[in-house]
């Protein structure tokens, strides 16, 4: 009797506990991202964001540099693929201003070296100095040179002798320098952007082929159009300075370099690049008659590597997953121009290196695509 009364009391107690009401639906605002924050983003979303970042960088550069869109694209492609650039153009085309503005947008360390005939290698790499403390003990201390930076502007690089030019060889390739018996790593990211004047050749020292091959792009900076020059004259004579926003930093640049390297390259593109590079060599059986007649020596395997890297960068900047043949053709002239040597016959008939490469792109066809039967 007592147990039955106890069970009835427990049942009444449970029935008196209020049941929890249903959770109200979550109200999403229009500002919330449509993607689930707990779900990882796919490569397509990341590449779209990367393309948007490149467009923002271009807009910021256009506040100071009017026009020169292909030059800006090639500079950004080199930065996102750990490459170096050689800017070639007549004085007054804002080459130095373009590089310094790009460094402000990237928010990285920037240093400039004005190359002169009396410049020494230690003025670039740094040197050991003798220090003496209060107790009279002497020791050598390494003083870093301007090469210890993220963006190094080598202004008028052909104004200094080869002994000083060679100070950048190890820095550009191994990203380190050796002073005495000690090797010092350079900061990451690290880029060398050199400029030279193609007109005046008195008192200049042309870069050796080994150093030219270290540059990913040889970028030709041309004159602006009439409309662009009118805008330049209007904006630069007001005494106003544009405010530049910082878009990236060193850590983000390193992450974006990994992103660009992950862009897919098919075997079809690899075969096309190999055909194109081998066609620049006069001694190769696949070289057309144009190359055998006008070229003394062609490009090496490093040219093919840079063509693929540049194709990856151009594809990623447009938000695409893989490299297309058009990306390789876009990079062909700045990558191959300083890696082939035309002979006197080409000069006599008015064939520049750019014209030879442009003609070569029409002669070298893409490899055939295998068709699968049903």
Q: How far apart are the first and last CA of the chain?
A: 83
H or E stretch at 113: strand 110-114
Burial profile 48-66: b = 16 or more Cβ within 10 angstroms, e = fewer: eebbebbeebbebbeebbb
* Alpha-carbon distances, residue 52 vs 59, 226, 324 (angstroms): 11, 29, 20
- Residue 120 near residue 164 (C-beta atoms within 8 A): yes
- Residue 167's CB is within 10 A of a number of other CB atoms, namely 20
Say what the pLDDT of residue 40 is. 59
**Tokens (6 digits) for 104:** 């402000």
Distance CA 298, CA 283 (A): 9
**Tokens (6 digits) for 87:** 């800017």
Count of H-run helices and E-run strands, the chain: 16, 11
Counted residue by residue, the chain has a size of: 374
DSSP single-letter state for residue 196: E
- Residue 190 near residue 290 (C-beta atoms within 8 A): no
Using the structure block, give the residue that is written with the tokens 């990211």: 189
Distance CA 334, CA 342 (A): 16
**Tokens (6 digits) for 253:** 């640049």
* Alpha-carbon distances, residue 190 vs 120, 186, 228 (angstroms): 21, 7, 32
Say what the pLDDT of residue 269 is. 93
Those residues whose C-beta lies under 8 Å from the C-beta of residue 301, and which sit 6 or more positions away, are 277
* Alpha-carbon distances, residue 62 vs 223, 317, 322 (angstroms): 16, 17, 28
Say what the pLDDT of residue 199 is. 77
* Alpha-carbon distances, residue 372 vs 265, 268, 369 (angstroms): 21, 15, 10
Say what the pLDDT of residue 19 is. 44
Please list the pLDDT of the chain residue by residue as tens digits (374 residues).
Answer: 444 444 444 444 444 444 444 433 433 333 333 444 445 567 778 888 888 889 999 988 988 888 888 999 999 999 999 999 999 988 888 888 899 899 989 989 999 999 999 999 999 999 888 888 878 788 888 889 999 999 999 999 989 988 888 889 889 999 999 888 889 999 999 999 999 888 766 668 888 888 899 999 999 999 999 998 998 898 888 877 778 888 888 899 999 999 999 898 999 999 999 999 999 999 888 889 999 999 999 999 999 999 999 999 999 999 888 899 999 999 999 999 999 999 998 888 888 999 999 999 999 888 877 665 55
Report which of 80, 78, 101 is spatially closest to residue 193, judged by C-alpha positions: 78
């Amino acid at each position: 009797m007592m147990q039955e009364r106890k069970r009835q009391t427990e049942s009444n107690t449970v029935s008196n506990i209020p049941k929890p009401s249903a959770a109200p639906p979550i109200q999403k605002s229009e500002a919330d991202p449509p993607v689930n924050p707990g779900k990882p983003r796919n490569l397509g979303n990341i590449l779209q964001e990367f393309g948007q970042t490149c467009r923002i960088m271009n807009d910021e550069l256009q506040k100071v540099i009017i026009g020169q869109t292909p030059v800006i694209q090639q500079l950004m492609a080199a930065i996102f693929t750990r490459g170096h650039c050689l800017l070639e153009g007549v004085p007054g085309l804002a080459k130095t201003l373009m590089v310094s503005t790009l460094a402000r947008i990237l928010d990285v360390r920037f240093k400039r070296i004005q190359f002169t005939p009396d410049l020494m290698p230690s003025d670039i790499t740094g040197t050991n100095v003798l220090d003496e403390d209060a107790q009279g003990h002497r020791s050598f201390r390494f003083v870093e040179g301007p090469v210890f930076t993220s963006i190094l502007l080598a202004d008028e690089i052909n104004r200094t002798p080869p002994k000083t030019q060679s100070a950048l060889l190890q820095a550009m390739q191994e990203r380190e320098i050796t002073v005495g018996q000690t090797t010092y790593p350079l900061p990451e990211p690290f880029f060398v952007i050199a400029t030279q004047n193609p007109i005046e050749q008195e008192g200049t020292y042309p870069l050796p082929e080994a150093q030219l091959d270290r540059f990913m792009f040889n970028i030709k900076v041309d004159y602006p159009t009439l409309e662009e020059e009118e805008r330049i004259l209007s904006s630069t004579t007001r005494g106003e300075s544009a405010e530049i926003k910082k878009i990236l930093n060193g850590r983000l640049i390193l992450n974006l370099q990994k992103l660009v390297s992950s862009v897919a390259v098919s075997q079809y593109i690899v075969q096309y690049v190999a055909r194109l590079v081998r066609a620049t060599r006069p001694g190769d059986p696949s070289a057309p008659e144009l190359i055998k007649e006008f070229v003394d020596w062609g490009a090496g395997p490093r040219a093919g590597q840079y063509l693929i890297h540049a194709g990856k960068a151009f594809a990623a900047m447009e938000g695409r997953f893989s490299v297309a043949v058009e990306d390789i053709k876009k990079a062909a002239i700045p990558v191959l121009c300083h890696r082939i040597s035309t002979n006197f016959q080409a000069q006599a008939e008015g064939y520049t290196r750019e014209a030879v490469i442009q003609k070569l792109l029409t002669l070298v066809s893409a490899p055939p695509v295998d068709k699968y039967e049903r």
